[in-house]
Amino acid sequence: MTAKPVIVLVRPQLGQNIGKAARAMLNFGLTEMRLVAPRDGWPNPEAGPAASGADIVLEQAEVFATTQDAIADCSHVFASTVRRRDLVMPVVGPEEMADRIAASPNRSAILFGPERSGLETEEVALADAIVTVPINPEFASLNLAQAVILLAYEWSKEANLAQPTAKELEPRAPHGELEGLIAQINDELDAKGYFHPPSRTEATRNTLRTIFTKTGWSSREVKAVRGIIRALVNAPRQR
Amino acid sequence: MTAKPVIVLVRPQLGQNIGKAARAMLNFGLTEMRLVAPRDGWPNPEAGPAASGADIVLEQAEVFATTQDAIADCSHVFASTVRRRDLVMPVVGPEEMADRIAASPNRSAILFGPERSGLETEEVALADAIVTVPINPEFASLNLAQAVILLAYEWSKEANLAQPTAKELEPRAPHGELEGLIAQINDELDAKGYFHPPSRTEATRNTLRTIFTKTGWSSREVKAVRGIIRALVNAPRQR
């Protein structure tokens, strides 16, 4: 049995929308909600009434300071957003996302941005892939709860199938481990004066993140690459 | 080209929900709404603001006195409701409904009941089939606009109207380029005395090869990683 995906609301604004998202989730059997820096704090008295009975989702919701923290134990992370010109990342539809979640034995997460502005570039860059609902190009007006319900619905269809088709050979490493690798590379490159000029540092760091996030490396492989980085920067081994 | 299905709201209660249904429809390219005996008359000033810009759907909405009248020109009619013990009728899921609509050259309709009570038995009986969204049996709480958006979404997938989710992945680098990267890493690691003891060198090289082959990196990304390796082994850049 595959793990149910975690729904991560990044900097949600209105408690009402958090409640509606909880209701959308529970309709399709999703129960694990994570909140990253909710604007009005947590708990929020406006969430309960909007959840229409999906209180258990709100009661179990966990709050995190950063998106990184919220996805540290998740192996597959999807960012729900429109396609981004500023990032070179895989873009999948809801069905492909559901396939990938079902094929993984580990925990997955789907990120949703704030109601008005959506996810920031750095937040999208944390994900393995963008998930986009194909929508009327002349009227694209999905609200938060609608985006949640459509993706939860696709997940539930896939989860009802008896057996996932392709199992992963070696499960992907949790994102926390990937973060460790990316931080190590960043630090070592910093020490070499790699990030230059300063005006392009942010873009370079995002590129570097997407390159290493898309690898699909397992925990064992992340460890191996960390060992390689260490060997490259160290003095030659004495025998 | 198949005809777009008509969305028929039977005795809708709140203008706000009519507006939300219009918004849900237009997101997936549906524009034809029919209202059967709306409780508060028509037009309803609460509908517009809730439509969030889907005004064209509301402006073109037609009002009918009876459900029979509203579906008189439709060849396929689906009643959106839970399964009914009181009626022996075919029950289909959203995908099967979408298939049938797409297969018909004639106009189809989907009936939705009033917010609280749902469709009456006689109204369901007017349809060719019941369409039911498979939902969490312990928390079935779809509101009108959510039911509309899920069925409109399935229809749009079938109709292939919305913009395709082309997977805009950058093409993978040719294997020759990957080989170049792997050779570079091997050489640098050799210089650091990494492959030790000799008995395990072959296994380590193979592991390293699979780790970097599975990344799916593009030519651009392979170049970036080669730059990173160079930076890691070089002396810090002088400014």
Paired tokens of A238: 């004495």
Yes or no, beta carbons of A192 and B234 under 8 Å apart: yes
Residue spans in chain B of domains classed CATH 1.10.8: 167-233
Q: How far is CA B56 from CA B31, B33, B39, B43, in A?
A: 8, 10, 21, 13
Max mean pLDDT range (A201-215, B142-156, B224-238): B142-156
Q: State what percent of residues in chain A have pLDDT above 90.
A: 71
Evaluate whether A15 touches A119 at the Cβ level (below 8 Å). Answer: no
- Distance of alpha carbon B231 from alpha carbon A64, whole angstroms: 35
The confidence score (pLDDT) of residue A166 equals 42
pLDDT for the residue A39: 97
What's residue B206's pLDDT? 81
B194 contacts in chain A (CB < 8 Å): 228, 231, 237
On the CB side of B149, CA atoms within 13 Å amount to 33
B residues 179-218 lying closer than 8 A (beta carbon) to A: 185, 188-189, 191-194, 196, 207-208, 211, 214-218
Question: Pick from B52, B220, B221: which is nearest to A141 by CB?
Answer: B52
Contact indicator for A205, A86 with CB cutoff of 8 Å: no
Strand partners, B109: B6, B77
CB contact under 8 A, B27 and A193: no
Q: How far apart are CA A190 and CA B230, in angstroms?
A: 13
Cα–chain center distance at B91: 22
DSSP SS3 for A229 = helix
C-beta neighbour count of A66 within 10 angstroms: 13
Distance from the Cα of B163 to chain A's closest Cα (Å) equals 6
pLDDT tens, position by position, B41-76: 999 999 999 999 999 999 999 999 999 999 988 888
Residue of A141, A216, A228 with shortest CB distance to B189 = A228
The answer, yes or no, to whether residue A54 has pLDDT greater than 70, is yes
A38 and A9 Cβ atoms separated by less than 8 Å: yes
Average pLDDT over residues A137-142: 90
Amino acid at B189: L
CATH for B6-159 is 3.40.1280.10
CB contact under 8 A, B27 and A140: yes
Q: What is the pLDDT of residue A239?
A: 59
B50, B228, B108, B136: which is closest to A212 by C-alpha? B228
What's the gap between Cα A96 and its chain centre?
15
For chain A, give every residue range classified as CATH 3.40.1280.10.
6-159
pLDDT at residue number B174: 78
What pLDDT score was predicted for residue B155?
95
What are the residues facing B63 on neighbouring strands?
B35
Residues B29 and B4: beta-carbon distance below 8 Å:
yes
Q: How far apart are CA A155 and CA A165, in angstroms?
A: 15
Interchain CB contact of A157 with B (< 8 Å) = yes
One-letter amino acid at B164 equals P
How far is C-alpha A239 from the chain's CA centre? 44
How high is the pLDDT of residue A168?
54
Give dist(CA B122, CA B227) in Å, integer. Answer: 71
Is the minimum CB–CB distance between B53 and chain A shorter than 8 Å? yes
- Which fold does the domain B167-233 belong to in CATH? Helicase, Ruva Protein; domain 3 (1.10.8)
Which residues fall within 8 angstroms of residue A217, CB to CB, at 6 or more apart? Answer: A172, A173, A178, A225, B211, B214, B215
3 state SS of B10: strand
Q: What is the pLDDT of residue A164?
A: 38
To the nearest whole Å, the CA of A199 is away from the closest chain B CA by 16
Tell if the CB–CB gap between B136 and A191 is shorter than 8 Å.
no
Does the pLDDT at position A36 exceed 50?
yes
The whole-number pLDDT of residue A163 equals: 39
A136-162 average pLDDT score: 89
Would you place residue B169 in the very low, low, confident or very high pLDDT band (cuts 50, 70, 90)? low
The 10 Å Cβ neighbour count of residue B47 is: 27
Q: Is the confidence at residue A162, as pLDDT, over 60?
A: no
Contact status, residue A50 vs residue A17, Cβ threshold 8 Å: yes
Residue type, position B210, single letter: T
* Confidence check: pLDDT of B220 > 70: yes
pLDDT at B178 over 50: yes
Window from A5-19, A97-111, A129-143, A197-211 with minimum mean pLDDT: A197-211
Tell me which of B26, B95, B139, B141 to substitute to probe the interface with A (most A C-beta atoms closer than 10 Å). Answer: B139
Whether the Cβ atoms of residue A34 and residue A61 lie closer than 8 Å to each other: yes
